[in-house]
């Protein structure tokens, strides 16, 4: 998957520091959002004291939130907040595409990899914005779910949870791996966030559903259907689950758990995983038989809809999930790159909600007493009380009236703040996506920041790739980005040329005011035949402001000396050792910046980042003139 990996170390200190700094700044803004909203709310209540009274009045016609919904809303709210906090781990900004998304997609079909690669590339190009967006969107959804108890805001939180969960399920979990071999409930199928999406959908149900019995009749049986399907899948022959060992190697389940053991974690946890792996290797058939029977029995019992029968089986299901969570999924969130607690906690939450929906008798709706059809709702976020034919415009106007705003509950204010937090993460990411160029932080991570300078560039008189003479003086009036390239270099120089080529394209209308110049750094292969061959190899002929200069060996040696460039013949079949820098020379012939230009891993993301750095520097000098 070509764009997925930026090639940087996941713990790269430059990116980690910048990520922390970005999170800190955005965290302060998030606090400010809550502070301002709180202040505004308190101010309105202070200036409109009458508004306090309706808030104390319970909505007369609204049913109480059923327990099953409370479990889903609070449970998944906490899980989303926890996931958001996990996204703030230092390795996430660089590591998520290459260490989480790519391995997950590796065994999926090509079309899945193509879809996932698009998102992974976007992330690797903008690791700071993407990493921060994941943090704030998930924390925001979590807070929103926790604080918006009822009404449209609460239902909207459920829908947003569905939307974001599906985004994560498709791009982060490669459709939960459902198109990859080895799919098993034990390891998280069909993807933890798909369960978040189901829960979000249930939270988004209208309040009329709260009063009906169908959540109780459908939710747990739905889980039962799913578990029966998973039991069949688990029992399916030829997938390696029935064998603890296959041809001297661990079977499918044992190899999965064995791969979890090296995850950085407390020794006691890894020892449990290792012990279970050993047990499964020795008793693979028995383990799988137990799992198949357990899933099938639980599924069938859930389908019966009989609470007395279901109660002990529900407890067994919870125990099974917890055992799987500890011994097979290894908690899911350890190791510095864990994104969520995997699927078992969400399963427990959904099954608990299903059980509660089954055993709880819905409260009958209270009769609306003494509420006029056009009455202002007690809580604009909770228009359940606004019965009657009022249109949405009328309700909106009523809700935005100052005394209505002053009467909203603190939870609704917090929910609005949570929406602000989501926007805080999403907007910078969306803005970054609008740019096809990678963030310059990647280039800085490879070579450090630009060094500002101010001295006269050494003059030179050389020949371009077409045999025409070029002097530094002839370039006066333009910004010159000057680098030094070996035409027969096998690794870095072609990458640097591509970075210059991309910069040429990014400069667009500024192209005429900028010259992209390279000088040969090979004391053996320095004829124009080599600069021409290099240009053809790298497609540089299409870059109109590209000059690849050479000269006689003494001329080149003088230039190398004047610019402090090493160009050493290395022995025994090595390529020429030469300095990799780019100098930014302003329109007056003065060197203004020195940029380290080792292209590093040479990935699409870092190439784009270096091109952006070149473009930014050139524009900065053009703007300064």
Residue 106 Cβ vs another protein, minimum distance, rounded to whole Å: 13
Position 180 contacts another protein (CB under 8 A): yes
Using the rule CB under 8 A, is 359 a contact of another protein? no
Interatomic CA distance for residues 12 and 225, integer angstroms = 46
CB-nearer residue toward another protein: 241 or 460: 241
Based on its alpha-carbon atoms, the radius of gyration of the chain, rounded to whole angstroms, reads 31
Would you say 118 or 179 has its CB closer to another protein? 179
Tell the smallest beta-carbon distance from residue 183 to another protein (Å). Answer: 5
239 contributes a contact to another protein by CB under 8 A? yes
Cβ closest to another protein, residue 39 vs residue 529: 529
Binding to another protein by residue 183, rule CB under 8 A?
yes
Least Å distance, CB 305 to another protein, is: 7
Shortest distance (Å) from residue 318 CB to another protein: 21
Single out the residue of 106, 102, 92, 177 nearest to residue 138, CA to CA. 92
- Single out the segment in contact with another protein by CB under 8 A; choices: 35-43, 311-319, 460-468, 526-534: 526-534
- Does 524 bind another protein (CB under 8 A)? Our answer is yes
608 token code pair: 């784009």
Among residues 74, 115, 156, 533, which is the contact residue for another protein, using CB under 8 A?
Answer: 533
Q: How far is the CB of 143 from another protein (least distance, A)?
A: 35
- 228 or 621: CB nearest another protein: 228
Size of the site for another protein (CB under 8 A): 54
CB 441 within 8 A of CB 15: yes
Q: Does 557 bind another protein (CB under 8 A)?
A: no
Q: Shortest distance, CB of residue 108 to another protein, whole angstroms?
A: 9
Taking the least distance from each CB to another protein, the nearer of 234 and 407 is 234
Cα-based angle 487, 454, 475 (whole degrees, multiple of 5): 50
**Closest distance of CB 507 from another protein, Å:** 24
Closest CA to 90 of 8, 18, 3, 5: 18
- Choosing from 3, 120, 172, 221, the residue that interacts with another protein (CB under 8 A) is 221
In this structure, what token pair is assigned to residue 268? 């006691």
Does 213 engage in binding with another protein (CB under 8 A)?
yes
Binding mask 459-498 for another protein (x = CB under 8 A): -----------------------------xxxx--xx---
Cβ 233 to another protein shortest distance, Å: 4
Q: Are 18 and 126 in contact (CB under 8 A)?
A: no
Tell me how far, at minimum, the Cβ of 134 lies from another protein, in Å: 27
- Would you state the structure tokens that stand for residue 285, as one six-digit string? 């058939």
Tokens of 242: 């029935």
How many C-beta neighbours within 10 Å does residue 371 have? 16
Nearer to another protein, 232 or 286 (CB): 232
Torsion of CA 446, 449, 454, 459, to 10 degrees: 10
| Closest alpha carbon to 13 in 335, 448, 333 | 448
CA distance 158 to 162: 6
Contacts of 220 (CB under 8 A, 6+ apart): 302, 305, 310, 351, 354, 355, 357, 358
Q: Which of 127, 140, 224, 385 binds another protein (CB under 8 A)?
A: 224
Is 219 a residue that touches another protein (CB under 8 A)? no
**Residue 178 binds another protein (CB under 8 A):** yes
Position 211 contacts another protein (CB under 8 A):
no
Name residues whose C-beta falls within 8 Å of residue 460's C-beta, 6 or more positions apart in sequence: 471, 472, 519, 549, 555, 558, 559, 562
Cis peptide before 264 (omega within 30 of 0): no
Looking at the Cβ atoms of 475 and 495, the one nearer to another protein is 495
Residue 239 CA to residue 235 CA, distance in Å, equals: 9
Nearer to another protein, 64 or 297 (CB): 297
Q: What share of the chain is helix, strand, coil (3-state, %, to 5)?
A: 60, 10, 30
- State the CB neighbour count (10 A cutoff) for residue 359: 16
- The answer to whether 387 touches 371, Cβ cutoff 8 Å, is yes
The piece of 63-71, 139-147, 216-224, 448-456 that touches another protein (CB under 8 A) is: 216-224
| Candidate residues 24, 43, 106, 236; the one interacting with another protein per rule CB under 8 A | 236
Q: Given the rule CB under 8 A, which of 89-97, 299-307, 318-326, 443-451 is the region that contacts another protein?
A: 299-307
- Cα separations (Å) of 409 from 38, 63, 172, 380, 406? 11, 17, 36, 9, 9
User: Can you tell me the distance from the alpha carbon of 299 to that of 313, in angstroms, rounded to the nearest whole number?
Assistant: 9
Report if residue 228 touches another protein, rule: CB under 8 A.
yes
Determine if 272 is a binding residue for another protein (CB under 8 A). Answer: no
Based on the shown chain and the rule CB under 8 A, indicate whether residue 106 belongs to the binding site for another protein.
Answer: no
The token pair that represents 503 in the structure block: 């910069």
Q: Tell whether residue 350 is a contact of another protein (CB under 8 A).
A: no
> Under the criterion CB under 8 A, does residue 209 sit at the interface with another protein?
no
Determine the distance from the C-alpha atom of residue 487 to the mean position of all C-alpha atoms in its chain, rounded to a whole number: 39
Residue 298, token pair as written in the block: 């639980």
Task: Choose which of 41, 136, 347, 526 interacts with another protein (CB under 8 A).
Answer: 526
Contacts of 427 (CB under 8 A, 6+ apart): none
What x-and-dash track marks residues 565-604 binding another protein by CB under 8 A?
A: ----xxxxxxxxx---------------------------
Q: Which stretch binds another protein (CB under 8 A): 13-21, 209-217, 247-255, 540-548?
A: 209-217
Q: How far apart are CA 352 and CA 346, in angstroms?
A: 10
- Closest to 149 in 3D by CA, of 195, 192, 210: 210
Q: How many CB atoms lie within 10 A of CB 288?
A: 24
- Of 82 and 179, the one with the shorter C-beta distance to another protein is 179
* Interface map 302-321 toward another protein (x if CB under 8 A): -xxx----------------
Phi, psi (5° rounding) for residue 549? Answer: -100, 145
With CB under 8 A as the contact rule, the residue among 82, 118, 179, 279 that binds another protein is: 179
Least Å distance between CB 120 and another protein?
A: 22
Instruction: Give me the residue label for tokens 């599924």.
Output: 299
Among 80, 226, 317, 597, binds another protein (CB under 8 A): 226
Residue numbers at the binding site for another protein (CB under 8 A): 178-183, 213-214, 217, 221, 224-233, 236, 238-239, 299-300, 303-305, 488-491, 494-495, 522-527, 529-530, 533, 536-537, 569-577
């Amino acid at each position: 998957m070509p764009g997925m990996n930026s090639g940087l170390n996941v713990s790269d200190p430059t990116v980690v520091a910048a990520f922390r700094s970005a999170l800190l700044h955005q965290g302060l803004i998030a606090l400010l959002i809550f502070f301002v909203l709180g202040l505004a709310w308190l101010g309105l209540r202070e200036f409109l004291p009458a508004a306090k009274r309706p808030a104390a009045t319970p909505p007369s016609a609204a049913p109480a939130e059923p327990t099953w919904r409370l479990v889903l809303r609070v449970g998944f709210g906490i899980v989303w907040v926890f996931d958001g906090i996990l996204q703030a781990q230092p390795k996430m900004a660089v590591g998520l595409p290459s260490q989480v998304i790519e391995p997950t997609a590796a065994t999926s079909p090509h079309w899945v990899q193509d879809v996932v690669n698009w998102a992974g590339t976007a992330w690797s190009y903008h690791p700071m914005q993407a990493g921060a967006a994941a943090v704030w969107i998930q924390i925001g959804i979590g807070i929103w779910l926790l604080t918006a108890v009822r009404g449209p805001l609460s239902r909207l939180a459920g829908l947003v949870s569905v939307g974001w969960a599906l985004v994560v399920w498709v791009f982060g979990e490669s459709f939960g791996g459902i198109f990859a071999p080895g799919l098993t409930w034990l390891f998280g199928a069909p993807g933890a966030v798909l369960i978040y999406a189901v829960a979000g959908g249930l939270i988004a149900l209208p309040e009329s559903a709260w009063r009906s019995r169908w959540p109780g009749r459908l939710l747990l049986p739905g889980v039962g259907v799913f578990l029966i399907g998973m039991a069949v899948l688990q029992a399916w022959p030829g997938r390696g689950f029935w064998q603890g060992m296959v041809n001297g190697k661990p079977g499918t389940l044992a190899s999965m758990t064995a791969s979890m053991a090296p995850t950085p974690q407390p020794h006691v946890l890894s020892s449990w995983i290792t012990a279970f792996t050993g047990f499964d290797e020795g008793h693979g058939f028995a383990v799988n038989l137990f799992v198949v029977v357990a899933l099938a029995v639980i599924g069938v019992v859930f389908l019966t809809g009989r609470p007395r029968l279901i109660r002990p089986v529900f407890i067994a299901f919870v125990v099974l999930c917890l055992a799987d969570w500890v011994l097979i999924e290894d908690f899911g969130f350890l190791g510095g790159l864990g994104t969520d607690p995997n699927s078992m906690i969400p399963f427990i939450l959904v099954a608990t909600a299903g059980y509660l929906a089954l055993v709880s008798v819905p409260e009958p709706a209270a009769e609306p007493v003494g509420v006029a059809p056009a009455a202002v709702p007690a809580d604009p976020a909770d228009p359940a009380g606004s019965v009657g034919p009022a249109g949405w415009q009328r309700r909106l106007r009523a809700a935005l009236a100052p005394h209505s705003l002053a009467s909203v509950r603190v939870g609704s204010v917090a929910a609005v703040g949570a929406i602000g937090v989501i926007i805080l993460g999403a907007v910078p990411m969306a803005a970054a996506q609008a740019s096809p160029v990678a963030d310059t932080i990647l280039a800085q991570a490879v070579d450090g920041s630009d060094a500002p300078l101010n001295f006269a560039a050494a003059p030179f008189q050389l020949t371009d790739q077409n045999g025409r003479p070029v002097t530094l003086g002839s370039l006066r009036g333009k910004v010159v980005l000057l680098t030094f390239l070996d035409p027969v270099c096998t690794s870095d120089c072609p990458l640097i040329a591509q970075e210059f080529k991309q910069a040429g394209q990014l400069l667009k209308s500024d192209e005429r005011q900028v010259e992209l110049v390279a000088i040969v750094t090979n004391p053996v292969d320095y004829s124009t035949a080599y600069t021409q061959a290099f240009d053809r190899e790298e497609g540089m002929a299409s870059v109109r402001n590209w000059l690849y200069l050479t000269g006689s060996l003494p001329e080149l040696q003088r230039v190398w000396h004047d610019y402090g460039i090493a160009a050493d013949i290395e022995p025994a079949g090595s390529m020429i050792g030469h300095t990799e820098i780019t100098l930014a020379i302003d329109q007056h012939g003065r060197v203004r910046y020195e940029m380290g230009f080792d292209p590093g891993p040479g990935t699409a993301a870092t190439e784009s980042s270096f091109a952006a750095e070149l473009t930014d520097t050139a524009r900065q000098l053009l703007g300064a003139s």
